[in-house]
Structure 1
Amino acid sequence: MDPNGPVTLRTSKFITNRLLQRKQFVVTITHPTRANLSRDEVAERLAQLYKSEKERVVVFGLRAKFGGGVSTGFGLVYDDEEAQRKFEPKYRLIRKGMAEKVQKPSRKLRKERKNRAKKFRGVKKIGASAAKK
């Protein structure tokens, strides 16, 4: 396996989506001598292809074909950062480093807290649902 072997990017089902201020397409990557390409590397190459900033390109859903050599996925190229922040799902913004992940207590802890609060009414309910010391 040659780590800097030939790589071909081909886009299909190309749509210029004016409503969501982006270009969207299916990307097919041919990499016969490589295991796969990183999402970051694909985004870099697509940015060159569509004359855009690397930060505006979002690549997701990459899947390698059985037997290797070919991968397919989806690509989006946003017109500007504002549109990207507005229309892109939060988890993908977090992945890109454009949003902060909300840290919340574990699911089990939240459920225990909720059930503890069920036993009380009024002001005591607030105290019961507060974190234990």
Structure 2
Amino acid sequence: MSTATIRTRRFMTNRLLCRKQMICDLLHPGLASVSKMEIRDKLAAMYKVTPDVVFVFGFKNNFGGGKSTGFGLIYDTLDNAKKFEPKYRLGRHGLYEKKKMTRKQRKERKNRMKKVRGTKKAKVGQAVKK
């Protein structure tokens, strides 16, 4: 752990999305930046939760260094996090793996979907899994 300190402001409890959201001001004199894992651990300790439900993103370093500002989200449960967080942020935590489709599969699916109209496209798109 480094000598970085975290201050939170604009704290808000979002009951619809089952989370607490805040802006995090990070003071780190003498350091270029602090890793997101470290920030997650410190926020988790501050709010007495496990680090797996803490999501931090959007950190920008101020000119001259020593201070960074970003966003922090703390979900009530891991299931809520998986439900509401974007897939790319879940991927950063290792909670989501994107299915790789080959180029040929994508093209075949596209051409199958061109043959039907309207709501039937959804059924044709699902037919890929054989």
If the TM-score is normalised by the length of the shorter chain, which range does it land in?
0.7 to 0.9
Structure 2 counterpart of 1:40, which letter? M
Partner of 1:90: 87
* Aligned counterpart, 2:127: none
Mapping of residues 15-34 of structure 1, within 5 Å: 15-34=12-31
1:45 maps to amino acid:
K
Distance 1:83 1:67 in 2: 38
Within 1, Cα distance between the matches of 2:71 and 2:65? 18
Aligned pairs, how many? 113
1:77 to 70, 74, 79: 74
CA distance in 2, matches of 1:75, 1:93: 14
Q: Which residue of 2 aligns with 1:127?
A: none
Give yes or no for the alignment of 1:59 onto 2:59.
no
Structure 2: 5+ residue runs without aligned partners? 116-130
CA distance, structure 2, for counterparts of residue 16 and residue 71 of structure 1: 23
Q: Spell out structure 1 runs of 4+ moving beyond 2 A.
A: none
Q: What secondary structure does 2:43 align onto?
A: helix
Q: Distance in 1 between matches of 2:8 and 2:31?
A: 19
Distance 1:110 1:70, change over 3 A: farther
Larger radius of gyration: 1
CA RMSD of aligned residues (A): 2.5
1:70 deviates by: 0.5
Q: Which amino acid aligns with 1:36?
A: S
What percent identity do the matched residue pairs reach?
Answer: 45
Pairwise CA distance, 1:104 = 3.0
Note the residue ranges of structure 1 that are not aligned, 5 or more in a row: 122-133
**Corresponding residue for residue 99 of structure 1:** 96
Describe the SS at the equivalent of 1:35: coil
TM-score under structure 2 normalisation? 0.77
Determine helix, strand or coil for the equivalent of 1:26: strand
Deviation at 1:45, TM superposition (A): 0.2
